[in-house]
Structure 1
Amino acid sequence: MNCYCGSHKSYDSCCKVFHLNGGQTETAEQLMRSRYSAFVRADGDYLMQTHHKRTRPIKEKQAIVNWAKSVLWQRLEILESTEDTVKFNAFFSEHGEADCIHENSKFVKENNKWYYLGYAENNN
């Protein structure tokens, strides 16, 4: 089975590696992909662990997990990637209705580790 993130690798040799090593990715895009896979797997611990402490929504963790479990994830499409931003579409269906999250995500690297920070200013 290909990884949830859309790479042509297996989950075991792709995002699972990052899920097991606490999010030690080499690039912001790898972290973005691993976070998408964590949404598919409803892995709230990983989502919180890889979300920067300054913007981490700890109080919303259970709601995020519940929502991630309630939708049918379809695919991730990376539109553009820079050193610290990743523009993407995450396709899913909720209550039988197709939907898409379109985001230009901002990442920050601290102590040699990437973290999701939030929306980049230019979120077109």
Structure 2
Amino acid sequence: MSGCPCGLGEYESCCEPLHKGQQAAITAEQLMRSRYSAFARQQIDYIQSTTALGQQQALDIPAIRDWSVSNQWLQLDIVQANEKLDKSHALVEFKAHFHDGKQVQVHHEVSHFVKQAGRWYFLDPTLEQTLTMKQPCICGSGKKLKQCCEQFL
């Protein structure tokens, strides 16, 4: 048994079942923690599969892999979690502590998540995508972007 990078127990009973697809995150915070653990354990497929469905193809997988591998992941702090922004959106503010080979760094982010078909997904605001407000939402809800996730990107 080994400690889970997310800080909530043993990896085998914490984030590993999510990484292996044996269960889905119940909350946005749990998804955030499992994504942090995925970075720490180089589970890049999990990072991709838990990003909003309409954003997965735009991810720079080699860059994500390089960032995951080149850093030593030290600690995750959840600053706040608001699981009910509306019926299907949540917010998690966190600090990811890591060592980049030269010094300790802290990545502080407020992340938004969307729940579709009973599963939570990360909405990545950093992706360079041409979005129009009348297009179908990137989360796969079937709604127009402006009526769904636009305010969270």
Same fold (TM > 0.5)? yes
Match of 1:117 in 2: 123
Q: 2: CA distance between counterparts of 1:11 and 1:87?
A: 22
Q: TM-score, normalised by structure 2?
A: 0.73
Aligned to 2:68: 68
Alpha-carbon offset, residue 97 of structure 1: 1.3
Structure 2: how far apart are the matches of 1:59 and 1:68? 14
What is the CA deviation profile of residues 12-55 of structure 1, one whole-angstrom value per residue up to 9, with x for unaligned ones?
00000111126611100000000000000111100000000233
Which residue matches 2:114?
108
| C-alpha distance in structure 2 between counterparts of 1:78 and 1:117, whole Å | 17
Between Structure 1 and Structure 2, whose CA radius of gyration is higher? 2
Flag structure 2 segments of 5+ consecutive residues without an equivalent: 84-89, 126-150
Higher relative contact order (CA 8 A, sep 6+): 1
TM-score (normalised: structure 1): 0.89
- Number of residue-to-residue matches in the alignment: 121
- Going from structure 1 to structure 2, the CA distance change for 1:16 and 1:69 (only over 3 Å counts) comes to same
Q: State the alpha-carbon separation in 2 of the partners of residues 42 and 77 from structure 1.
A: 19
Q: Deviation of residue 3 (structure 1)? A: 0.8
Q: Specify every segment of 5 or more residues in structure 1 that has no aligned partner in the other structure, as ranges.
A: none
Q: CA RMSD, aligned part only? A: 2.0
Structural mapping, 1:1-124, within 5 Å: 1-7=2-8, 9-21=9-21, 24-56=24-56, 58-83=58-83, 84-119=90-125
Between structures 1 and 2, the one with greater strand share? 1
Q: 1:98 to 1:4 in 2, by over 3 A?
A: same
